[in-house]
Amino acid sequence: MHDKETPMAKQYREIKSKNLDKILFFRVGDFYEMFYEDAILA
């Protein structure tokens, strides 16, 4: 799974793994987005 991920996805996964109890807002261009479980929780 991780062998085809984009650099952004890798960075997100690394940051999220250290902050499992937080909802992570990830800046993409001019916007902040949430992904995976964080998007569902929000």
Separation of alpha carbons 41 and 16, rounded Å: 14
Residues in the chain: 42
Q: Give this prediction's pTM.
A: 0.73
Model confidence at 19: pLDDT above 60: yes
- Ramachandran class of 20: left when φ > 0, alpha when ψ lies in -120 to 50, beta otherwise: alpha
CB 24 within 8 A of CB 37: no
**pLDDT mean across residues, the chain:** 91
Give alpha helix (H) positions in 1-42.
Answer: 7-17, 36-41
Model confidence at 27: pLDDT above 60: yes
**Which token pair is 41?**
């929780």
pLDDT score recorded for residue 2: 62
Greater confidence (12 vs 3) lies with 12
Domain boundaries, the chain: 2-41
Greater confidence (30 vs 2) lies with 30
